[in-house]
Structure 1
């Protein structure tokens, strides 16, 4: 069997930001319930661990198989590497393989910007008046920060984009790379949190990046760089003063260290925060005088949606 393989270039070409966001949105409206998503599966590997993420729907099934090797960056290699395998749900026959890292690099920002789009739409301006030109502040200088800035530039073309990072040389390199692509980003500072309309945390930091009390009422914060109950990019102060939206309630209870232990699992179950499907279906309302926090950990159904988009775009007329 000669399966087609979609490399990183082919994956990105078949899933531009607007198409990726639209595919996720339609999946949530029509076929996906995030609460039915499979949990991640972990297994030991020689120098780290395997991470497996299976998902299925009526037409397609798939699994993202990743390796996580913490020592790799010191050797000049990627910490996380992997491949995606797409199957036909009816016959269980494999259809294609594709670059797992590029798939992740697209689906995570697409999911974040989908959430931002609908959270901002849930605010008609009567509760939290917004400036015409949003100020978007992104924390991080890695692949996810880079791609969140790319996605924000495509989805919010009138926005002012700024990036905050610990290493000035990496910030400068990221800004220069985006400038070549026609995306204008300037160097920001953590002090800008107080006047940002949208704050996106896309880092590997295990501790909060800023004082959550500084976030303006009406601002939207996305914490998407970390998963695991021992890692958090935002503090309990922000969590406790915010409306909260999650990708899925079950996945958040398993892996959202940004939310737990700010509140216990029992408290979150009682609160029953809106998930992405609720958000897209218009079943989420913002509260007056509160920021809104979107907490994402990455889910397998998102990979499947984007992999399906890549496959159909690459093989069908």
Structure 2
């Protein structure tokens, strides 16, 4: 058996940001329940960890096998690498292989953009065009995920201005230039810019909060998706307690979200209640006018499957 392999460049050409968001949205509107998704499986590897992400669907199923090597960037190599295999659910025959890191780099920003789009629309203070625009955006992070998040959010909720907050000034300046080439009003920023932000995107590898929760205005939307694990967080626990919170799935968040667990225990969150992405897409979140909104994600297997399916079917004659 010979399988087609889509490398990073081919996968990037196969689906754009707006389409990826639409694919995830349609999956949530139709047959995906995030609470039934398979958990991610971690296993130690010599230079880091193996990450296995399986999920099953009616027509297609898939598995992403990724490696996480924390020391790789210092050696000029990717931190995350891997491969995705799509299967026919009826026969379990493999259908196509794809670059796993690029698939992650596509579906993660698309998931965030989907959440931002619907959280903006759910805000009772926003009317007309304001409900569809991201407005003033602050981005924490200056790597590939930061750039792709800007592209994805701008595709579905146009950005008016963007401030880049990066640990390395050179990387932040380079990302500012890329944003300016996109036609955006862009500049280097600082944590203080959160006070004037409509949307805050946290796509860093930080293990400690990036800004003071008191800076976040009641109308703002914050997305924290960069750090994973119960011992890492990008936001102040006070923000999680104060905000209207949306997660990809409640079960996955309770297993892995360090942005939430320090704020409340699992039992307290279960009592308090969390909205998942499917519920958000179906209009079941009523945002409160005196509170900001927070989306926090850990990455889920159904997202890979939805995007991989769209790519595969787009490759068929």
| Bigger shift: residues 196-205 or 154-163 | 154-163
Equivalent in the alignment of 1:276: 277
Cα distance in 2 for partners of 1:139, 1:263 equals: 24
Q: Report the Cα offset of residue 146 of structure 1.
A: 1.2
> Cα deviations across residues 256-304 of structure 1 (Å, max 9, x unaligned)?
1000121010011112210000000011110121011111111010011
Cα distance in 2 for partners of 1:10, 1:184 equals: 30
Q: Within 5 Å, give how 1:205-220 maps onto structure 2.
A: 205-220=206-221
Q: Which runs of 5+ in 2 are unaligned?
A: none
1:80 aligns with 2:92: no
Cα distance in 2 for partners of 1:206, 1:162 equals: 21
Cα distance, 1:124–1:63 mapped onto 2, change above 3 Å: same
Cα distance in 1 for partners of 2:67, 2:117 equals: 32
Equivalent in the alignment of 1:165: 166
- TM-score, normalised to structure 2, is 0.95
Cα distance, 1:219–1:180 mapped onto 2, change above 3 Å: closer
Equivalent in the alignment of 1:145: 146
Q: Within 5 Å, give how 1:151-190 maps onto structure 2.
A: 151-182=152-183, 184-190=185-191
Cα distance in 2 for partners of 1:187, 1:203 equals: 15
Contact 2:135 2:159 (8 Å CA) reproduced:
yes
Q: Within 5 Å, give how 1:88-107 maps onto structure 2.
A: 88-107=88-107
Cα distance in 1 for partners of 2:22, 2:81 equals: 26
Cα distance in 2 for partners of 1:214, 1:181 equals: 28
SS in 2 for 1:159: strand
Q: Report the Cα offset of residue 178 of structure 1.
A: 3.9
Contact 2:125 2:219 (8 Å CA) reproduced:
no
Contact 1:249 1:272 (8 Å CA) reproduced:
no
Cα distance in 1 for partners of 2:159, 2:107 equals: 22
Cα distance in 2 for partners of 1:265, 1:153 equals: 34
> Cα deviations across residues 182-219 of structure 1 (Å, max 9, x unaligned)?
55532222111011000010000000000001100111
Q: Report the Cα offset of residue 48 of structure 1.
A: 1.4
Contact 2:42 2:50 (8 Å CA) reproduced:
yes
Contact 2:135 2:158 (8 Å CA) reproduced:
no
- TM-score, normalised to structure 1, is 0.95
Cα distance in 2 for partners of 1:269, 1:248 equals: 12
Equivalent in the alignment of 2:62: 62
Root mean square deviation of aligned Cα:
1.7
Cα distance in 2 for partners of 1:299, 1:56 equals: 12
